[in-house]
Structure 1
Amino acid sequence: MRIIKPCTYTVLSLALPSVTQMTMAQDAHHSMPMSAQHESPSHDSSHQVMQIGIESSQMKHPAEHAEHAEHAEHANASSIASRAASAQHPVDHKREHGGQIYQATEIDSRWLNNADGRGRLKTEIESRIGTDENKLFIKLHADKAESQDADYAAQVMYSRMISDFWDAQIGARYRVDEHQVTDKEQLDAAVGLHGLAPYFFETDAYLYFGTDNQVSFSLETERDLLLTQKLILKPYLNLDVVLSDDSAYAQKTGLSSVWLGLETRYEINKKLMPFIDVAYSYEKGNQHTARQAETGSEKQWWYGVGLRLKF
C-alpha cells in the first residue's frame, strides 16, 4: 500500500495538466462561431500539407528544380529576343502570298489549208513575266499565206490585276504589212482586259488607236473541255471590228474578220502538245481608196495540224 499510493499520486499529477488543457480547448472551441469551426481547420491543414509537400519535394529533388528554373529563364530570354528582332526586322511574307516573280512562254504554230488547197502558216508567241499583281506581256504574231509575204505584229503590254479574275492592260502594238506599198509599218496604242470570263473562257479584249483615225477592237476567247486528262477539246473565237479607218489602205468598217474553230490536242506532257484544227473564217475586205481597189468578203473552211510548246 505504501508503494501504490506514491505511484497513483505521480500518475494523477502528470495527467491533471493535460486534462485541464483539453477542457480549456473544448471550451474555446464551443465559444467559436460555427463558420470558423468548419472553415479554419480545413484551410490551415490543407495549406500546411501543400507547404510541407512543396518543401519535401524541393528537398528531395533540388537538381530538377534548378534545371526547370534555368529552362524557364532561357525560354523567357529567347521569347524577349525574338519579339525584339521581329520589331526591328519585320518578316516579309509577300513571296508566300503571290509576291514571287514567275515566267511562262507559249509558242503556238499551225499549218492550215483551205478547200482550194492554199496553205497558211500562223505562229503566235506569248511570254509573260512578273508577279500575280503586276506582269509584262510580250506577244508576237506572224501570218503568212502561201506564195505571199508575211504580216508581223509585236505587242508589249503592262498588266495590272484589278480583280480575282481580270487584269487591266496598257501598252503598244507594232505591225508590219508587206502588202502595202507605203506605210508598211504602223504603231498603235493599246488598252484592254485579260482574264477569265464566266464559264471559264480565257479572254483577251483590246482597243487599238493608230494614225489616220484608225480605231479597232479585237477579241480572242477560248475554253478547254477535257475528254481525258490528256485529250482536250478547245473551241475558240477570234474576231476584229474596225470602228474607223481613214488610212490609204483602209478596211471596211464593222465586223472585219472572224475565225471560229475547234482544236483537238493531245498533251504528251505539259510542255509538248500536238493538235489538229478545224476552223471557219470570214473576212470583210478593204475599202476603195486612192491606193487600193475595193475587195469583197471571203468565207472559207480551214483544216490542219499544229504544235504548242510551253516552258
Structure 2
Amino acid sequence: MRWMFGTILAASTAVTPLMAQDHSKMDHSAHQMPAAEEAEPEVDHDKINHDQMDHGTMDHSSHQPAKPQASTPNTETGRIRAADAIWGAEAMRPSREALYAEHGNMQIFWFQGDRFEYRAREGEDGYLWDVQGYYGGDIHKFWFKSEGEGSFGEPIEDAEVQALYSRAIAPFFDLQAGIRQDLTGPTRTHAAIGVQGLVPYMFEVDAAAFLSNKGDITVRIEAEYDQRITQELILQPRAEVNLSAQDIPELGIGSGIDNLELGLRLRYQIIPEFAPYIGIEQEWKLGGSRDFARLAGEDPSVTNFVVGMRFWF
C-alpha cells in the first residue's frame, strides 16, 4: 500500500508544473487561421469634400446600364407586311386580300321598319308603314324608302317608293339623290335630292326636295329623337313638315306649309332588333291644304292613337 501511494504521489507531482503554465504569456499568433481576404477600409462619405472634386473629368460610362438595342424597322414593307419576311409575300397574299374584303369598305345590307302601325282615330281606323334600308359600304350606298297610309275598307290614300344613290359627306351624314315614284292618286315621278343623318344632340334628320315631272316642287323634313328612359324603354318624339312651292289642286296641296305632324311614341325594346310601341300623333293641314281638305269634306286636324312595332335586320 505504501508503495502504491508513493507511486501516485510521484506522478501527480510531475504533472502539476506543466498544467500550471501561464497561458497569457504564450504566443498564439502561430495558431491563428489566415484571413481569406483583407477587408477594404470603410469610407465615410460624409467627410468627402465634393466641392474640390472635378466631376466633369470623371468617366461615368462604366456606371451606366447598357441600353437595349432597338430593332431596325422595315422601312420597305412596314408592319402591314412584316409577315412577308417570314412566310413570304405569296403565302401571305390570300390572308391580306381576305382582310381587305372583310374590314375594308365591307358591303352591308340593312333594312328597318321605322313605323309599322295601326291607327285608332275618329271615323275609320287606319294604318301606316314607313320602311327604309340600304346596301353598300362606308362611302357609297344604294338607299330605298317606302311609306304610305290609308283607312281600313278604303283604297290606299298615299303610297310612294324612292330609289336613291347615297354618298357620305361627313361622319354620320349622307347626301342622297335619286327618284321618287308615287303609287296612288294622280301618279307622279319626282327627282329627289336631300340629306340624311345624325345631327348634334343625336337627332335623326331626313330632309329632301322633290321636283315632279309636272314641274311641282315640294319639300319634306323629318326629325326624331330617341330618349332612353331605361335600357329597354325608349321615348321618341317625332316631327314632320311638308311644304310646297305652289298649289297642286289635284293632290289637295296648297302653297306654303302643306301639313304638320307631331308625334310621341313609347317603345319597349325586347331585343335590339324588335321593339313594339304605343303613342299618339297629331296631324294638321295648314294654309291652302286646309281649305282643300274642307272642300273635300275632310277634317284638317286628326288625332291618331297608334300601336305598332319597330324592327330591323
TM-score (norm 1): 0.65
Alpha carbons 1:215, 1:245 under 8 Å: kept: no
- Any residues of structure 2 matched to 1:292-303 within 5 Å, and which? 298-303=300-305
Q: How far 1:109 sits from its partner (Å)? A: 1.1
Matched, 1:225 2:232: no
**Counterpart of 1:278 in 2: which secondary structure?**
strand
Q: How far 1:293 sits from its partner (Å)? A: 5.3
**Counterpart of 1:162 in 2: which secondary structure?**
strand
Alpha carbons 1:126, 1:139 under 8 Å: kept: yes
Amino acid at match of 2:201: Y
Alpha carbons 1:274, 1:308 under 8 Å: kept: yes
**Separation in 2 of the partners of 1:196 and 1:143?**
26
**Counterpart of 1:244 in 2: which secondary structure?**
coil
Amino acid at match of 1:210: S
Counterpart of 1:123 in structure 2 is 129
CA 1:98/1:278 → structure 2, altered by over 3 Å: closer, same or farther? farther
Q: How far 1:250 sits from its partner (Å)? A: 5.4
Q: How far 1:298 sits from its partner (Å)? A: 1.3
Q: How far 1:286 sits from its partner (Å)? A: 3.9
Alpha carbons 1:175, 1:187 under 8 Å: kept: yes
Counterpart of 2:138 in structure 1 is 132
**Counterpart of 2:88 in 1: which secondary structure?**
helix
**Separation in 2 of the partners of 1:250 and 1:100?**
45
Q: How far 1:148 sits from its partner (Å)? A: 2.9
- Any residues of structure 2 matched to 1:233-248 within 5 Å, and which? 233-245=235-247, 248=250
Q: How far 1:271 sits from its partner (Å)? A: 2.2
**Separation in 2 of the partners of 1:241 and 1:278?**
23
CA 1:82/1:121 → structure 2, altered by over 3 Å: closer, same or farther? same
Counterpart of 1:283 in structure 2 is 285
Q: How far 1:176 sits from its partner (Å)? A: 2.2
Which of the two has greater helix per residue?
Answer: 1
Alpha-carbon RMSD = 3.1
CA 1:85/1:239 → structure 2, altered by over 3 Å: closer, same or farther? same
Counterpart of 2:182 in structure 1 is 175
Counterpart of 1:112 in structure 2 is 119
**Separation in 2 of the partners of 1:81 and 1:304?**
62
Matched, 1:216 2:218: yes
**Separation in 2 of the partners of 1:89 and 1:306?**
47
Counterpart of 1:74 in structure 2 is none
Matched, 1:307 2:309: yes
Counterpart of 1:198 in structure 2 is 200
Structure 2 runs not aligned, ≥5 long: 1-82
CA 1:221/1:246 → structure 2, altered by over 3 Å: closer, same or farther? closer
* Equivalent pairs, count: 227
Alpha carbons 2:290, 2:300 under 8 Å: kept: no
1:59-99 per-position Cα deviation (integer Å, ceiling 9, x unaligned): xxxxxxxxxxxxxxxxxx9728736878x999456446551
Q: Of the two, which has the highest radius of gyration?
A: 2
Matched, 1:144 2:146: no
Amino acid at match of 1:271: E
1:100-157 per-position Cα deviation (integer Å, ceiling 9, x unaligned): 011111123111122x243120012212111111111111112112443102101011
Higher mean C-alpha deviation, range 149-158 or range 241-250: 241-250
Alpha carbons 1:212, 1:246 under 8 Å: kept: no
Amino acid at match of 1:164: P
TM-score (norm 2): 0.64
**Counterpart of 1:263 in 2: which secondary structure?**
strand
**Separation in 2 of the partners of 1:110 and 1:305?**
5
